[in-house]
Structure 1
Amino acid sequence: MKNYNREPIKVYIVEDEPLILETIKVIVEEGGYKVCGSNNNVKDAIIEIEKFQPNLILVDVMLSGDLDGIDLINRLKAKNNIPFIFLTSLSDEETLKRVKNTNPSGYIVKPFNENTLLANIELALHKQSVKITSKLESVTKEKDAFFIKTKGEFIKIDKNDILFFEAYDNYCYVYTNTNKHLISHSLKSVEQKLSKEKFLRVHRSYVINISKIDSINEGYVYIGKHKISVSKLHKEKLMASLNML
């Protein structure tokens, strides 16, 4: 997963075999992620994970010492919601039972290859993103606001602050009074989530907040400093939505 123009996604590795650790580091970094730390000891790893707050943990089940990787995850889960993937040469019934109880984002049996590891990382991060988005949407059921993901964080945007949306390939921009954000949804999918009484498509590339219109003239609407095209197909519906004297 390349992460251009964003904060790098941080991966922490817990592995006690030096050669395997170095192999994992190379694969992770060549895959576009940042290895923010590594350790082979559960207690030290917990301290560093609390410090670095990685986006994902790769953890071996078998570790030197009294505690193993499953013990590590059980201790972390009490305070953190960081997704994790187990890397292990074990696949016995007892280990699998303990692993399933932790609800991991992935389980990779050694030996593994580069594609397997990167695919599991990608899926784990996607599942975490979907989970977070679902929780945020449930918080904003009143539909007065929604969250967008940008530069690795989720930002709350009040719908009353939105000026308009502009299509950009399979994505779209959302414009507010102070910012412009690129979001990973098509204009059509965004339009379906908006109030038809407040937001209106005026062009194949634009959905506007009707309450923000300053003026209309010769096939354009003006919202602040923005001049937005109105197509003939949508002009009649636009005029009908306005409170005219």
Structure 2
Amino acid sequence: MITPIPKVKILIVEDEILLAQDISNRLTAIEYEVIGTAPTAIKALKLIAENPDVDIILIDIILKGNLDGIELAGLINAKYNIPFIFLTSHSDNQLIERAKGVYPYAYILKPFNDKQVSTAIELALLNFSKKTPEKELLKSRNFNAPDNQVLQIKDSIFLKKDHHFERVPFKDIYFLKADSNYCTVHAKSGRFMYSMVLKKIEAELPSNQFLRTHRSYVVNIDLVNGFEGNMLFLGEKKIPVSKAHRKDVFKLFHTI
């Protein structure tokens, strides 16, 4: 049975129905999961309450109803821990100053293309995962997203594949293997290769679940199903345990 690849979950808050549907279709086409669209702040709050695992929210600053997008963002900041991106065709100074006060994780001027919105989402996820929200609105639409970013949010890690991020739950990662200056993450949904040292990706993983067994390997100890000598078994895969790490590794396993 093939395990579905978890996708980044997005809520769109836009009062122009046709535009909201167009954004939804475009995001779906580039491998994001749109959990819903909301024309008002009240509807958006209802959808957030029903979908607490939403990863990011796209919010039009100008919304119909009693609350505009900036006021909605303030409520999200107060009650939830979810990053958001502002969408707007307005650029007047007073509006921008108000928007700065709620610390958006990115900002996109309409009209925008698929690459711009995808890159803004990646940038927002990066800022959120590092807990460093943008203190200034992004004034440029020419974003340059890093090619080798590892984003950790909630119980998952977002790994870049081709031109988008794939959500990989920690429980679905088998092990990491280093090869010189490259590191490969082996997971149920496939392999992800990065041009970075093993230690950097290891730092993004929960230490109570992932353990270094060798200078070239980090293993998900919850998925170890056996061991023999200096080898751990993960299904049919054998992972070496070096002398330097043997004591820390095998003290986790109780034998009778």
Alpha-carbon shift at residue 110 of structure 1 (Å): 1.5
Q: Pairwise CA RMSD of aligned residues? A: 4.4
Q: Contact (CA 8 Å) 1:170, 1:185: kept in 2 or not?
A: yes
- Give matches, 1:39-78, under 5 Å: 39-53=38-52, 54-78=54-78
Q: Contact (CA 8 Å) 1:166, 1:187: kept in 2 or not?
A: no
Match of 1:235? none
Distance 2:245 2:116 in 1: 53
Distance 2:45 2:176 in 1: 43
Number of residues paired by the alignment?
202
Q: Contact (CA 8 Å) 1:172, 1:182: kept in 2 or not?
A: yes
Q: Which amino acid aligns with 1:116?
A: Q
Distance 1:148 1:23 in 2: 28
Unaligned runs of 5+ in 1: 137-146, 157-162, 216-220, 231-237
Q: Contact (CA 8 Å) 2:176, 2:183: kept in 1 or not?
A: no
Match of 2:26? 27
In the alignment, which of 171, 184, 188 is matched to residue 184 of structure 2?
171
Can you list the C-alpha shifts for 1:32-60, whole angstroms capped at 9, x where unaligned? Answer: 11111111111121111111232111111
Unaligned runs of 5+ in 2: 133-150, 159-165, 204-211, 220-225, 248-256
Shift of the 207–50 alpha-carbon distance from structure 1 to 2, 3 Å rule, reads closer
Q: Which amino acid aligns with 2:102?
A: T
Distance 2:8 2:26 in 1: 14
Match of 1:118? 118
In terms of fraction of residues, the more helix-rich structure is: 1
Give me the TM-score of the superposition, normalised by structure 1. Answer: 0.63
Match of 1:11? 10
- Give matches, 1:119-134, under 5 Å: 119-131=119-131
Give me the TM-score of the superposition, normalised by structure 2. Answer: 0.61
Which of the two has higher C-alpha Rg? 1
Identity within the alignment, %: 32
In the alignment, which of 157, 180, 204 is matched to residue 149 of structure 1?
157
Match of 1:143? none
